[in-house]
Amino acid sequence: MIADIEVTKDNFLGGELIIRQPKIGYRAGIDAVLLGTAGAAIKANNVVELGCGVGTAMLICANQRKKHGTLTKALGLEIDANAAVLCSQNIADNGFADFVSVQNIDGMKPNSAIENRFDLAISNPPFFDDDTAIRGPKFERQAAYIIGAPLLDWLKAMLRLVKSNGEILLIHRADRLFDILQALKNRAGDIKILPIHAVEGRPANRIIIRAKKGSKAPTQILTGINLRAHQNDSKYLPEIDGICKGSATSIFDELPT
């Protein structure tokens, strides 16, 4: 049963997906699109999303994998009951009930039933694990943006979910790169960092990181991508617009398979 909250139905991938999400609070956007699209290009027989929310990134990943002819099983883990209910509705409404499911559990806690099981774990971790460091989000968004545990614990949970040599993929703030690399030290390698520039010529404000559990391979910084050519542009660059509309299944060739 979902609480009495106002919900919108929003188009993603040019209308290929219709996603129910709260009108007020955390709402999925470009980060979920980029994460899901990047995940679709990675070889995996099964995928898990830690903190899947209403399932946007997971369903984008599943939808684009279907286009590649590589539709795989996917599981979302979501602690918030309302988000989990919406996620379940989104899975059914978009025709993925046979392949995608959600569990309303705390994926941060050790759980032998789901650990060491997946080929790929994806996530858009909450951005603020220290609400004294920088200005935090509005109250309605705090559940999705703030976690009490450090980012280290979030990454450790992702690594617990994947098999030996399994991979993790996350999108996060660029200024947390050092923390992410420290968290992955001696736990994962073959790390590939994809900078995301909100505006061409400006410093990256987001990063996508791909890493392999237990690997000792060196880290690579890949050629970054730009979302807009100018600060005041109302539209994304054509290649990003293509991803948002679903006509391009990937521009993440920089993330080798």
pLDDT of residue 35: 96
Quick one: pLDDT at residue 20? Answer: 95
pLDDT at 116: 97
Assessment of whether the complete model's pTM goes beyond 0.85: yes
Position 69 scores a pLDDT of 81
The partner residues of 74 in beta bridges, in order of sequence, read: 47, 100
pLDDT at 173: 95
Q: What stretches in the chain show pLDDT beneath 70?
A: 1-3, 128-149, 249-257
13 C-beta neighbours (distance < 10 Å), count: 22
Q: How confident is the model over 66-122, as pLDDT tens digits?
A: 887 887 899 999 999 999 999 999 999 999 999 999 999 999 999 999 999 999 999
Q: How far is CA 254 from the centre of its chain?
A: 17
Burial of 121 (0-12, 13-18, 19+ CB in 10 A): buried
The token pair at 170 is 């996350």
Read off the DSSP letter of residue 146.
B
Question: Helix, strand, coil shares of the chain as percentages rounded to 5?
Answer: 30, 30, 45
Domains within the chain, CATH numbers bracketed: 7-244 (3.40.50.150)
Query: What residues pair up with 181 in beta bridges, in sequence order?
Result: none
